[in-house]
Structures are given as structure tokens and as C-alpha cells.
Structure 1
Amino acid sequence: MFDFKTLCVLATALLAACGPTSRDQGDDTGGGGDGGNRDSSSGDGCSDASKLVYVVDSNDKLSNFDPMTKTFTDLGDLSCPAGFLATPFSMSIDRDTNAWVLYSDGDLYKVNTTNLMCTATSWNTQLGLTQFGMGFSTETAGGTADTLFVAGGSGPTVPTSTLATLSTTNMTASSRGTVTGWPELTGTGNAELWGFFPSAGGARIEKLDKTTGAALQTFQLPTLAGEPMAWAFAAWGGDFWVFLMRGNDVQTTVYQVSGSNGQIKGMTSAPGRRIVGAGVSTCAPTVIL
């Protein structure tokens, strides 16, 4: 079984180098247009598409996931001009339904989720952030302005991560603090930031202080212990959705985790999928009435 989250480490051994490739990165924002049309009729300026969960597979397959039906809909394969052996590493979705996809070589792309047009951004590694998890969080509860948070470093084998914000306008990173472990991030329209920390000894979900990286609340997940091979994370409808592949697993399993007490409410197999990135915009519902 192959650990896709540590592909860069293995590629280093094979190629004696692993890092951002040198190529034309395009403009600062990445271009490519908006991923979906805003639907202001709902009063929140969000389209129906922006309220779904999106996932990306290790083989570049982009899909959306409907938490209500627990089903996947494939949108197509990404054709981002990533480096040799590079695969998707993490992903986040903005309120215009654009996917921001980080590859294992450290390059960041903006993807239109309607036509899958992939445009390189001008991102270059800053603050040691070559690989990282990421998620958008609103600046105020119920607000429409949001910020992209990232947490990472040189690779998942390091014991701590740098928490930072990343401007999608000028591609600059600003440090916020340090996080113990290597989380995948998700944010909410309630201005919260959460991290999923996979571990062979026992996984956990934490609410993070967006100014320091300190843990504000922790849910221990001992039943999800096991050597992590591929993982992703999203918050939707007041619950957490963990996409995890461990040890000798042959595919990803989706775990629904209660947002109120951290208990696992259900699990769904994802045949044929090795999901390495999940994204949900701050348009997504924070509670299901």
C-alpha cells in the first residue's frame, strides 16, 4: 500500500530532489474564472454547488460528495501540469466553488470545478510550507468574507506544523502559530477552524485558535487509530466528515463524526477511491434543520 501523503519523501529518495518545479506560474490569483455562478436568490450569495463537499483522489479524479445521501458524483480528471510523480496532496474550496489544489511537489493550482480548467498560481514555498493541509474560514460568524488557513511544513513526518494564512490574491503566507502534529484543516461559516490529526496511536479532531494554533477543544478518536495512508477532512451540516485509508485498507472509508460530542455516527465505504483531499466552502450549512 502506498502512502500518498508522503509521496514527496519517497520521490526524494528516487530523484534526489523534491520541491516546486520551475515553470511559468501564471498570474497571482491563478485565473481560470469562477468555478460556479453565485445564486443570490437564496439570500447568501451562494450557489447550490458551493454547498457541497468536494474530494480529490490520488489519481487526479475530482468528485463531489453529498453528505445527505453519502454518495459521490465524479466530475472528471484534473490535468494540472504538476511535476514528475507529483499527485494531489490537499484541497480547499472557496465561495465561488473554485478548488485550490496543492500537489505533493509544492505547487498550488486554482481549478474551475465546472469545466476543470486548471491554472498554476504564483505560489512559491514560504515559511517552510512545501506541503500543507488547508481550509477556508469566515472572518466573522455568518459573514461572507473568508480566509484560507494552511498548516504544514516540509512533510507529514515532522512533529509540528506551521499555522498560517495564505492570501489567494497575492499568494503570500503570514504565520499565525505552531500546531502539534500534522492536521488536515477545514473551516466553517461560523468562523471556526478545525483540524483532523491522523495517527497510528489514535486520531483526534481539534478546534484551533486561528491566531495562535492552540487547541481550544479536542475530540479523541481511538477507533480511527492505524497507520494513515491517505486522509482528508471536511465540516458540513454540524458534523465532521473524515476520509481515511489506513494500513492494509484497499480504499477510503468515510466516517461521519458528531460535531457536538466527537462520537462516530456512521461509516461509508468508497470503493475504488484513495481520497487525499477534501474541500468545503464557507457557504456549506453549519446545521441541518
Structure 2
Amino acid sequence: MQRLGLALFVLPLLTACGSSKSEPAGGPDDAPPFGAPDGGGFGTSPDGGKLAECAEETKDIFVISEENTLYSFHPPTLVFKAIGQLKCDTGGSRPTSMAVDRTGIAWVRHDDGTIWRVDTRTLACEATRFVPPLETDPFYKFGMGFSTSSKGGSNEQLFLSDSLGAGLAKLDTDSLKLTYVGQYTGALSGKRSELTGTGDGKLYGFFVAAPAQIAEISKGTGEIIETKELPGVYTGSAWAFSFYGGDFYVYTASEGNGGGPPRAGGGSDVTRYRPSDGSVTVVKPKVGFKIVGAGVSTCAPTEGPH
């Protein structure tokens, strides 16, 4: 993928975060968050206090379907549990990517470029003040994932992977401003990816290739540290990515347009890559719905059971 004029795009992006879209209506300073429960409001505990980090119910993987339904996914049992349909007041825009922070809040990117925060326990929604760049510019569309700043630490950063091939950026979750990190290197330069991070401070990408690849990414430069090709895995029309207990889980809906063989309906396949033995296994075929986003907090276990 060519990167014509990347420097011209990135400079205004990093100084102003783009200016093509107005702020989403119904922001947190204008009205109560849509769907917020009675009591403490969005992002608070039932008694109105601050949400605790790493509550047990937030340690699973969360996925979102094309039909706008949020599910939890528990890898040890391979069970999906429907939490409910998102009812964020997005004006009809649909989710395309998701990341989950340590308090169980999902950051959900929609196809109009906006980011909404969703409580994975209550489905309460809150519009953020993120202003996307122009639709033709880098980081209008992206994959994303949180990673801790250090091994075992509680501070985390939200990383974005540009869908036009511009590489890696960071999003400040307070100011909602982007900082460009760098281009991917080697054979994955110019490629797009979904991201997942870990509680031991690492960041990984699930890259669109034929077949797909998983790579460890330098959070400081965007350099590709190590790659693993996934034989027989193709991204298809929808894909997502997450890490849990030392393993990687990829969610793909191949319909013949992503380089792989067509799938006869039934939604996404779940494939596990296990670095400890190098195995790549379809652990749950055709889950019954198409997964368009996945997120897991950095509270999730980084090692499997011993």
C-alpha cells in the first residue's frame, strides 16, 4: 500500500486531531449519558463511587457483533455470553473496533469515526470528545488496544493502528489527542492490523496478509519485533483480535473475499494461536454471529494455568 504524502497528513493530525467532524451531540458535558442507570451515572459503581480496576467480571474477553450486540467470551470454557445490544445514540453508525480498559469500560470506534465509551456491565454509553481526522487521512479508521506501560503495572496506554497503512499511534484517553509513533517495519510496513495488549507491557498486531500474521510491535517506534504466520487463517470481511492466558484469539469471517475459502454462513470462526507449542487451532467454528471488534483489559491473565 503506497503512503503518498504521509508526512503532510500526519503533521496536522497530531496538532489538531483533524477537524472534519463536529463533536458528537449529547457529550458528557451537555446531558446525562445515554443509557446511564439511575444513581452514580456513567463509569461509577452503584453507590456512586469510582469503578475499581480489575474486578473479576471485567477479566474476560469482550466482543461486539455486526448486529451491535456485546458478548463476553471466557477462553477456558470457550463460552460466549450475550450481555445485550448496545443502544448508544450514534445516529445509526456501527461499531468497527473495540478496546477495554482496566475498569471494564469498552472504547468502541464506530464507522463515522467517533469513539464511544460503553460500560461492559450495564451497557451505559457515553460519547467522547474525540474528533476524527478527514476520512481520507491516516487514523480516520483504525484498530486499537490497551497495553500497560510496564510489566505488571497499572498504568496503561491506548494504541491505534491505522487502516490506511500509516502505522502506529497513541491516543491520550484524557485529552483524546493522537501522538504518532511510527511506521511498521519489514514485510508488514504499510499493512493494517488490529491490536491487543497485555498486562506485562507488550503490544501485538493481527495483520491483514495472506495468510494472516501476528506480530509483536515496539510501542516506542512501531518496529516489528517478531512475527508468526497463521497457516489457513484469512481475515475475510470482518476480523478481531485478543490475548488471554498466554494465548492469542483471532476472530475471522471469511466469505471468499479475504483470500481464504468461503464459509457457509454461521458467523465468525475463533482460532487460537498458542505460542508455547506453536499450534494454530480453530477452537470454535461458526459462532453464530459476525464479530467486528474484540477487546480485553490488561487485567486478563498473561499466563495459562500451571
TM over 0.5: yes
Q: CA deviation at 1:212?
A: 1.2
Alignment of 1:112-191 (within 5 A): 112-126=119-133, 128-152=138-162, 156=163, 158=164, 160-179=165-184, 180=189, 181-191=191-201
- Go from structure 1 to structure 2 and tell me whether the alpha carbon gap of 1:261 and 1:83 turns closer, same or farther (over 3 Å shift): farther
Q: CA deviation at 1:286?
A: 0.3
* Identical aligned residues as a percent: 35
* TM-score, length of structure 2 as denominator length: 0.78
Aligned twin of 2:205: 195
Aligned residues: 257
- Partners of 2:236 and 2:125 in 1: CA distance: 28
Q: CA deviation at 1:105?
A: 1.1
Q: CA deviation at 1:47?
A: 0.9
- Partners of 1:100 and 1:169 in 2: CA distance: 13
- Partners of 2:286 and 2:302 in 1: CA distance: 24
**8 A Cα contact 2:24 2:129, kept in partner:** no
* TM-score, length of structure 1 as denominator length: 0.82
AA aligned to 1:81 is D
**8 A Cα contact 1:106 1:130, kept in partner:** yes
- Partners of 1:243 and 1:61 in 2: CA distance: 15
- Partners of 2:64 and 2:28 in 1: CA distance: 24
1:264 lines up with 2:280 in the alignment:
yes
Aligned twin of 1:89: 96
| RMSD after superposition | 2.2
Q: CA deviation at 1:178?
A: 1.5
- Go from structure 1 to structure 2 and tell me whether the alpha carbon gap of 1:244 and 1:117 turns closer, same or farther (over 3 Å shift): same
- Partners of 2:128 and 2:51 in 1: CA distance: 23
Q: CA deviation at 1:162?
A: 3.0
- Go from structure 1 to structure 2 and tell me whether the alpha carbon gap of 1:233 and 1:262 turns closer, same or farther (over 3 Å shift): farther
Which structure has the highest strand share of the two? 1
Q: CA deviation at 1:228?
A: 1.5
- Go from structure 1 to structure 2 and tell me whether the alpha carbon gap of 1:257 and 1:283 turns closer, same or farther (over 3 Å shift): same
- Partners of 1:35 and 1:244 in 2: CA distance: 35
Q: CA deviation at 1:118?
A: 1.0
Aligned twin of 1:13: none
Deviations 1:69-114 (A, max 9, x none): 0010000000122244x21100010000001000111010000111
Misfit runs of 4+, over 4 Å: 19-22, 34-39
Alignment of 1:169-248 (within 5 A): 169-179=174-184, 180=189, 181-199=191-209, 201-225=210-234, 228-247=236-255, 248=262
SS in 2 for 1:285: coil
- Partners of 2:192 and 2:277 in 1: CA distance: 22
SS in 1 for 2:76: coil
- Partners of 1:137 and 1:104 in 2: CA distance: 24
